Amino acid sequence: MESLEQIKNRAELAARGAKIDIVVNPGPAQQSSLLIDNEHAAAVAQFLRNHPALTFDYCSNATGVDWLDRVIKKTTKVKTVVDGVEKEVDQTIEEKIPGYLEAVYHLYSMKHKHGPLIIRMRTANRTDGARLPSLTPIWRSAELQEREIFDLYGIHFEGHPDLRRILMWDEFVDHPMRKDYREPDDYEWEPTPHDDVLEKAKQHYTPRPQLDGAENVTAQPQ
């Protein structure tokens, strides 16, 4: 398989105006990826699938990632005067990065038997800008996995043929895989509450008035 730099250069030439960055993974796997701008994502994806030397014809996995607001500390060298002598000293600068969501795809070539190539897209934010273009029209295997990302992370995939919840029930509010998600203790809409879920729900039951000669029982919510 060609290097990420080579694939990046090929894709930028094929999809004029596309902005692609290499995201380095410092972890043990060292599987760096290509960050593709949303406007040209479909064109880049089609190029990756159709180019004869690449032929990434199979999307094995698509998943979501939630990045909360965070502060990164950077150390830079600055010149200052100490006791009349100019010196370089370290200065720490804090940079605040607003939160966003990502969709990450692992691509393989069944024809050439190479891969994975990892590509990713980022949303504008975690609220009204949580939208990305669907890559299901390019790789059909992404259909159910984009639905899962939509369900659990709240990314709206524009152009998806059937975007609806796949794990949670329709009335469920919120997205359980987001890092700021808080599990409710009242599963009012839980279709079949059992065990610990039922015990939490009982905390919200309304006690019935106690009758003479009868034990106090708890009424379930209507």
CA atoms within 13 A on the CB side of 53: 7
Q: Which domains does the chain have, with CATH numbers?
A: 4-66+101-182 (3.30.460.80), 183-222 (no CATH)
The helix or strand, by DSSP H or E, that contains position 10, with its residue range, turns out to be helix 4-14
pLDDT in tens, the chain (222 residues): 899 999 999 999 999 999 999 999 988 888 999 999 999 999 999 999 999 999 999 999 999 999 999 998 888 888 887 777 888 888 888 889 999 999 999 999 999 999 999 999 999 999 999 999 999 999 999 999 999 999 999 999 999 999 999 999 888 889 999 999 987 766 555 556 567 777 777 776 677 666 665 555 554 544
Q: Give the pair of three-digit tokens for residue 6.
A: 């080579």
Question: Do 101 and 64 form a contact (C-beta atoms < 8 A)?
Answer: yes
146-194 pLDDT, tens digit each: 999 999 999 999 999 999 999 998 888 899 999 999 877 665 555 565 6
CA distance linking residue 86 with residue 4, whole number of Å: 43
pTM: predicted TM-score of the whole model, two decimal places? 0.79
Two tokens at 163? 């975007």
